[in-house]
Structure 1
Amino acid sequence: MDLGLAGQVVVITGGANGIGRATAQAFAREGARIVIADISDGADDDVPAAAQEIVEAGGEAIFVRTDVTSMSEVERLRDQALEAFGRLDVLVNNAAKLPTSTTAPFFWDEDPEEWDGLIDVALKGTLNCSKVIGDHLRQNGGGSIVNLSSDSARRGEQRETTYSAVKAAIIGFTQSAAIGLGPAQVRVNCVSPGRTITERHDRYRADIIAQGGEAAAAFEDREKRALKLYPLRKFGRPDDVANVIVGIASPVMSGHVTGQILSVNGGYHVG
């Protein structure tokens, strides 16, 4: 099935790893041209790996090192994308920051200094990119914005209080922006993953297990109990989320869909 994405230009923030990288690959398979924006290139050499692997597979992709918390850097991202490809069609707001603590504290034990990082990258970054690139879409015939939230925003997680609050704000922004941008034919939707096993999750898990003792045992226990909340009895993988992002961005599959929040969660809400 032709999803109508061939030749379109897709900007993906946080695109060097995890869900973002899988999303870049999924769009590239549909013939889209990819702009990967990340503060890290995921490689030690001069050629960013996430973009390079798309090019080596016969696709078109560039990497633009971007701090989404900076409006001037987001404007530079837009300008470089337009210089490379001459148009913009889809924005995927995927950049986020996880808590650095490996002990998953309750809210009253959280470090307030971490709040700014969570808010700035996920929420402010989404606002910055949506303002700059969304305005371009609005003035040039429309397009699609896909924001990434989390099911921790829809079903509170006691050890992810601030993260849950930030992701809930993205849901509110999605619905409001969909109303405001709709007349300009810019669709704004939100994909809300449940637990998704990315490279970052694997590193996070490894750090905790390496600590041993009560922290490791508590983490393993939480993982086992969490799995029982998923009717499919498995956590998601990046490709599970990426394929849904592509579908909701597609003008063929989702051309009359806007303001929606779509969970990719193995049935977490109904468990």
Structure 2
Amino acid sequence: MDQAAQLRNMIKQQNQHKTSARVITVTSGKGGVGKTNVSVNLAIQFKKMGKRVIILDADFGLANIEVLFGIIPGSNLGEVMFNGKEIKDILTPGPLGIEFISGGSGIQELTNLGKEQLFFLLQKLNEIDYLADIIIIDTGAGISSSVLEFVLASKEVLLVSTPEPTSITDSYALLKALKKLDTFDQENTSIKVITNRASSVKEGENVYSKLNVVVNKFLDMKIEHLGIVPQDQNLQRAVMEQKPISLLYPNSSASKAFKEIAEKLLEVEQDRQTDKNSMSQFLTNFIKIKKLFK
């Protein structure tokens, strides 16, 4: 039995009698569309609804989550890998008791792990499956192999786009890249589009419509429109103050939109198959997919 199979079996055994968290992966075709803001503010809204939430900052080396929270973590994921710390030791408390795992700023070693190091790290990450109700994975932007690996391993993906033509084009490029890969489980993967920075509901719907038309025509893929986050001047103010808009301006139009999107996601929670959308299943998928990019 190879090492990957051993790790898959170990993960399965560890989770036989545990309640699994729901894994939601947030991604985008390009940077600068507000992807991390979506991750952070959805986490805030989930927490307000009584859910235990952990955010994994999977954009290794850039540390966007901690910047938006305005919190300097005492530890990061690199210390699990290189300094012998446990996952529970590096969970950083954020607003309302949300916890997050920092990838660390400038830690390039995490992007170049060997096979044994990777399996060790995945084994450790499996522990958060039963420390949260919802795990939000905030990926990097674009269609690099590191981003595609996380998206391919996920069964629930939120794709953030804006009305900018380049954002729509890059969102399509990401979906096209997924479609080309043999390990993309199209039938069992839910991809929901969030239109960010829309000037109106109509503009937000038009963004999704344009993307959906080309995706249906050329990729034969199914995507859904989850919701619209309007252009809101309070959002930039919140970013500058390093506080989530859902906390700093809870009655703003953007905060209300994040609340509606979070409520929609929780509405379908009872229908999902937990074992297929857990952190342990995500990690099992990730192990298989990693072989594509060697």
TM exceeding 0.5: no
Bin of the TM-score, shorter chain as denominator length: 0.3 to 0.5
Q: Please give the TM-score of this superposition, normalised by the length of structure 1.
A: 0.44
More contact order relative to length (CA 8 Å, sep ≥ 6) = 2
